[in-house]
Amino acid sequence: MGSSELDEFVERVTERTDIYSVVSRYVQLTQKSGRYWGRCPFHNEKTASFSVSADKGLFYCFGCGAGGNVFKFLSLIENITYFEAVKLQAERLGIELPQKKSSPEEERRRREEKILLKINEVAQDFYHECLIKTARGSVGRKYLEARGITAETIETFKLGCAPDEWENLFRELIRQNFSAQQIESVGLIVKRKNSSGYYDRFRARIMIPIADVFGRVVGFGGRVLGSADETTPKYLNTPETVLFNKRKLLFGLDKSNRSISSAGAALVVEGYMDAISLFSAGIKNVVATLGTAFTPEHAKLILRYAQKIIFCYDSDEAGQRATIRALPIVQAAGAQVFVISVPDGKDPDEFVRKHGAEAFAELIKNAIPLVDYRIKYVLANTERATTDGKLKALQEIFPVIEKVRSETELNEYLKKIAAALALDELILLNAWKKFSSKREPDKNSAVVVTREKSSAEKNFRLKKATEDVLRMLWQDDNLLDYVRKVLMPEEIFSPAQQEIIEWIKNCAENGKRPDQMSAAAELSEAAGAELARILLDGEGAPLDAEIAAFNDSVRFLRRVLLEKKYHELFAQAEKFASNDEAAYVKAVEELLKIKKEIDNLKRKDKRF
């Protein structure tokens, strides 16, 4: 498939696509002031801040910052790539995809992957049928019934049972013309060590199919029926294969992603039985790790659907340590992190079976923030009766609370810590000052946030001015040279805005007008969302008003640049004053020129 064929295909799909029709399949929209509004499907909100412009073919959420064209929306809501979104919409419209010519190696890999996925699908059906229809599955049915797992949940997760036999699945797959090598490569059979042949990896176990985000079965987890010992592990997963990588998979995400999006939060538990029990109880925004530590890849998967992650690992010591290890990973990914402590040392499965879904929902409601949990954990695991113990506790707690943004909240934490360690508040405050003075300033710390409040108004003006300029450049790229000449250096624009400017310049150099389709395909996610927000924000404004706003904004931004240059040159002039008169005079002359231009701009300034 050549690029011209692809371009023509995308153009056909775009021409026949109405953003309102697409978005309204997922979001209830209400028309107001020429736009459509609804509650954002990408984060939890009570008031509608999600906006759709049918005329411009754009969406933007003023709450979470997601934005772009219709295919960007589909890629986010369906968790697929941009081009997969185009293909999905083409399928819905009945538009055939042009055939791409693949290399023989690509074709071979694609065929092999389809075969391996088919093997897992057949195995899933085999285990499921064994559980629900055969006498051999009765022990599995009794086990699941005792755990409160309903027939509906069994069907939803396609739970199954591996019979207590050595070659049952192997023979069935061979009968369906799969090779032993193919079956072994997905981890369902194991080669015998002392003789020829193979045997089933999973025997006498409840079988849990593990799917990727697209719902394709890529592996299995098995829970032993009966007691486990050193030779028979309680839980057994598929080994690492070309399809199965525990670091990149979360059990249940294919079924819970919509619930995670609508709830604005994902509940992370340790085991698939915990996830299944909670899902069965109606708590559907739940996923589970697969016997491995929580990874950055897991965090990225969840953050596609929600910014809030709630950990609910077992409340024993091992579960608490696993939680502590996971928290920095999620925090580094930019998530809002909360932790649930399940009472009585129970795991989520036990708790929900004993106390019910409402009681568990109350635990979620009372989940504590990351900082509180870390402080609580440190205090519970250090010796507070001695001076050394108190110092050790402070060494572990201070790095946690330095992330706190609010000065008031920070002071409250310091008071709580002083009380918990039986320390005078003044002594604790002095210790905190010594600690924070030795650290690099944290851009999220309460001290820096307080300092930045004084410049908030100017930052708002800068933001509005840069948006006015970009909005006009979108309409008329002939202004690009003028803007780049007057507003150099371009650092006055954000990185995303600089990317948009560079892209508009490239469009102009290649003789094409900027358009939404090209922007969505060629800009980064951040720049695409920024452009959508800027264009929607100025929607409906008369052209003469936009031109006036553009002129005023250019003057304001020029003034900001000149004031920065003035202060830098003033500092240089002070250095020249005592040792280089010629340089001093030249600097002063330049300062006077800059000051004169600043004053002229202030007099013309109508908007700012």
pLDDT digits 0-9 by tens, 500-557: 888 888 888 888 888 877 888 888 888 888 888 888 876 666 777 778 888 888 888 8
- Does this chain's domain 3-93 share its CATH topology with 104-244? no
Q: What is the pLDDT of residue 3?
A: 60
- Distance of alpha carbon 559 from alpha carbon 212, whole angstroms: 53
Domain ranges of the chain: 3-93, 104-244, 248-374, 382-444, 455-604
Average pLDDT over residues 34-47: 82
pLDDT confidence tier of residue 1, bands split at 50, 70 and 90: very low
Distance CA 341, CA 387 (A): 29
pLDDT for the residue numbered 201: 96
Asked whether residue 96 carries a pLDDT value surpassing 90, the answer given is no
Phi, psi of 72 (to 5 degrees): -65, -40
Residue 90, phi then psi, degrees to nearest 5: -60, -40
CATH of domain 3-93: 3.90.580.10
In terms of Cα–Cα distance, which of 512, 490, 488, 511 is closest to 501?
A: 490
> Is 1.10.3720.10 the CATH number for 104-244?
no
For residues 426 and 418, give the distance between their C-alpha atoms in angstroms, rounded to a whole number.
9
The angle formed by the CA atoms of residues 256, 298 and 304, to the nearest 5 degrees, is 60
Tell me the percentage of the chain whose pLDDT exceeds 90: 30
Report which secondary-structure segment, H or E, holds 389: helix 387-401
Give burial (CB, 10 Å; 0-12/13-18/19+) of 488: exposed
CATH 3.40.1360.10 fits 248-374, yes or no: yes
The mean pLDDT of 365-387, rounded to a whole number, is 84
Please give the pLDDT value at position 405.
65
Binning pLDDT at 50, 70 and 90, where does residue 451 land?
Answer: very low
Per-residue pLDDT tens digits for 283-303: 999 999 998 889 888 988 888
Q: Token pair of 564, please?
A: 């920065």
CATH architecture for segment(s) 455-604: Orthogonal Bundle (1.10)
What's the pTM value of the predicted model, to 2 decimals?
0.61
